[in-house]
Structure 1
C-alpha cells in the first residue's frame, strides 16, 4: 500500500483557544482582515464576540452573504468583496457553509475566474490565507482542503480541492458551540458521524484515515445525546467537537461515499440542510452496504458500545443503534424533507454522477439510488 497523508493546517484545540486569534493573525503578518460568516453568526452575536478579540491595529470587514449549501454566486461576490477591500487574510467563522465558501473565495479572489473553473483548472499556491473557526461540531471543514459549492445553473454540487485552500490555522474551540440549538447540534452531530463512518469504510481509505474515523465514531456515539439534551454539558460539547475534528481528518484523507452522494443531490435540487440530509439517509444506505463491509460495520458497532462477537449481528445492531440515536435526539424521517417522488430519478442520476460514488462500498447505479429513495420514502 502507498498513500500520502497531508495535513496543511495547524490545529489549535481546546476551550478558550479562540482568544489566540489576534496573536495568530500577527504571526501571519496580516492587517486587513475579512471575516466570512452567515447571518446566523451575526444575529447570535458570535461575530461581535470574536471581532472584539482583535487589537486596534487590525482593520476588519465582514462578508455575511453566505447561504446554506453555499452557492457559486456567494463565492464570486465574496471574492469581489475581498479584492475591493484589499484584504490580506480571511477569518472563516461558522459552520461548514461559511468555511467551505471561504476556501473557494480564497482562491478566486487571488487567481480570478469562475469558481467552477477550478474543478478542472489547477489551483496555484497564491491564495488568501485562512484562519478557520468552527461554531458547530459537525462538518470538520476547518481541517479539510476541499470546498463543496452549488452550481446554481445546473443545480449540482461540485468540489474544489487542493491543499493550497486549506486553513493555515484551525482554532477549534468547543466553547463556541455552547449556544448551538439542540436541533442543529443533532443534525450536525450525525453529519459528523456520517463523515467518520464513510471515511472509515470508503473504498479508497487508508489506515490513518480508518483510525481517525473509528475513533471519531467512539466520541460521537458517547456524547451526542448528552450534547443535544444539555448544551451546557461541557464534557459532551468537548467530546462532540473532538469527534467532529477527527471525522473531518478521516474523510478528507479518504473520501465520503453514497450517503453524501444522495445528500448533496437533495441539497442541490431542494436546498435542504446538508447535515440533516446526511443524518436521515445514513442508516438506510448502511443497510445497502452491509454485505460489502460487514466486518467494518461490526467495528463501528463496537465503537458505539455494542458487545456482540458475530460480525453480521453486530453490524445490524450498530445500524439499529444509529437509528435509535437519531430518534432520541429528535431527527425527523425522510418525509420531513418534502421531496417530490417525481424527482427521485433525477436525484438518483445526480447521486451516481457524484465524484464520491466510486468510494461507496457497494457499487451504486442510478437505478440503485432511485430504488433506495423510494424505499426510504415509503418508511
Structure 2
C-alpha cells in the first residue's frame, strides 16, 4: 500500500484512478461509473508522492509541473475533475486535504497576501498579465476576453459566447448617447471598444498592465474609436483621488478578484465617488458560493498572487458602506466552466507554440491551472456574479424589460 492510499481510498469512490509508483507497482481506487473519468497517474519519484500528501493541491501541481507526476491515461483535466466530482460542493462534500490548523493558515495567508497596496497591486498584475500578449492570443477568443463568457444557447463558439457576454453586460448598463463610461480593469480593451461601437459614448479604460495598455490603445486606433476611447495606466484608487463624480457608468469585468478583501470597502467607496448622482455600475466577478474562504496555495504562488475570490455576502456588505443599491444580481453557475474548457482545449491545441514560447514547465503549470479552475466551477464552490449597482433608486427603469430589449438590439 502506497503512502497515498489512505487519502485516495477516502476520496475516490466513483470513477477510477490508478496510481503507478516509481517501482512500477499499481494501485487502483474507485470503480468505473457513467460520466466519471478513468485516469492513470505515474510517479517518477517517491518525493513527488510525499509532496502530494503534505499539500495535495500545491504538491500535485508542483509534481506535475516538474514532470515527477505524469498522466499515463487521460489528462490533468480528468484527474482534477475526478477528485472534485467525488467531493462536490453542492452536496456538502469536502476534499478534507487540510487540517483545521492548515485551513486557518490558508485564511491568514490569503488575507495578508491580498492587502494589495498600490505598488504590490502593480507587481501582482505584472506577474500574470505582463508575460506576453502572444500567449493570450493563443487560447482566448478573437477579442481577447479573459473572463467568463455567456452561453445562452447550445452550440455556440467561444467567439460567439464572448460577444454575447459583452452584449449582456452592455444591456445592464442602460447606456445612453453622450454618457461617460469608466472601465476598471479594461484588459486588452475589448469591452471598451465594443461599448463605443454599440452606443455614442466616451470611455476611459484603466489597467495596471503595461502589456495590456499598449495593445488596447493600438486596438482602439484600428477600430476607429480612439477619439472616444482612451486607456490609462492607473490604479482605481489614484483615479478616485484625481476625479470625483465624473462618470455616468462604471463597468468592471474580472478585476474585483484582484482587489483583496481588505480593500473591498475602499473599492466601492472609490466607485461611488466616481459615479454621478444617478450613475450605474455593473460588476462582473468570480464569486464563491457560501461563506468567505481562502485562496489555495497553488493559485497564490503561481497564478494570481494577491488574488481572492469573494463571497457574495462580503461583496454586498462592502458595497453597503458606500450606500450603493444592489439593483440587480445574476448568478452565472456553469458559464465559466464552459469557457474554461474552451481555453483548455485551445491551450492543448497550441502546446508546441506555448512550449517554444514559455517552456514545458510553464505549459504544464498552465494546464494544471485551467484544469483546476474548470473543476472548481463544475463541481466546486465557484461561480460568477453580475451585480448592478446604482446610487439612486430613480436611476433605472422600474422593471428589467429594458435589459432584454437592449440585449436584443446589441446581439442582432
TM-score (structure 1 length as normaliser): 0.29
TM-score (structure 2 length as normaliser): 0.27
More strand as a share of residues:
2
Query: Which is higher, the Rg of structure 1 or of structure 2?
Result: 2
Q: More relative contact order in 1 or in 2 (CA 8 Å, sep 6+)?
A: 2
More helix as a share of residues:
1
